[in-house]
Amino acid sequence: MRAISFFQGAMRRSRLALITLTALATFLMIACSSTPAQRPTVTAAAPTAVPSNAAVSETDALLTTLSHGGFVIFLRHGNTDRTIQPSLTGPSWWKSCDPPASRQLSDKGREQARTIGKALNARDILVGTVYSSEYCRAIETARLAFGRTETVFELNWLTSDGDEPSDLGLNRLVMKQLISTQPPSGKNTVIVGHSFNLEGVSTVVIEEGDAVIFQPIGNGNFNVIGKMTAEQLSEYLK
């Protein structure tokens, strides 16, 4: 009987070992054959398309702001022809529209001036007073864009003899006054000038034919609202 019991116990132990080995083999087989699908997978979500009619360009937003009036547009004169070296001499040489005397607009600059005028008209943006320096390139830019201008000597950054003044305080004071003065209701003031007009009154830098928008607060104070490039306006009109 003991021999039979021992034999039966051995058989049970053998079956238990076999079951254990079979279970272990099955576990290993499943583990080794696991595919990435059986593991957590992170899939990048597809970008949500923004409807084109909901995307408002910076240029369009600025033009919308200007349509309400109450701002000052500082426009740097259009692109100039630098192939001719002007003499910068003679009585009131800066007023001359002769290229050998003073730098003039290029054909590109004239087109830039027309473009900004067209862009503002297209959005029914009202322009009140237009100021410019006495340089021919500034006057021509103003007239091509807006049809008129009032010249301001202090925007020249010159003495009456055509030299740089030793003290720029008055020039900067006049510039601040122009930028900080509130235009008539519903209208915008335009200043057509030069890069040096912004020096000392703002950190904004713009290229020829580009504009910066100021919100006047008064007493020589103002905020910068944004910039518009000639290229942006050209694309906007297409």
Q: Which CATH superfamily is domain 56-236 in?
A: Phosphoglycerate mutase-like (3.40.50.1240)
Domain ranges of the chain: 2-28, 56-236
Look at 2 and 152; give whichever has higher pLDDT: 152
Given a cut of 70, whether residue 14 has pLDDT beyond it is: no
Contact 212, 151 (CB under 8 A): no
What mean pLDDT, rounded, does the chain reach? Answer: 82
Look at 162 and 130; give whichever has higher pLDDT: 130
Distance of alpha carbon 162 from alpha carbon 90, whole angstroms:
9
Q: Compute CA distances 149 → 127, 137, 138, 142, 207, whole Å.
A: 11, 12, 9, 6, 21
Least confident of 17-21, 68-72, 113-117, 162-166: 17-21
What whole-number percentage of the chain has pLDDT above 70?
76
Given a cut of 70, whether residue 37 has pLDDT beyond it is: no
Given a cut of 70, whether residue 4 has pLDDT beyond it is: no
Distance of alpha carbon 85 from alpha carbon 8, whole angstroms:
116
Amino acid (1-letter code) at residue 175: M
Distance of alpha carbon 170 from alpha carbon 165, whole angstroms:
10
pLDDT of residue 231: 87
Contact 198, 212 (CB under 8 A): yes
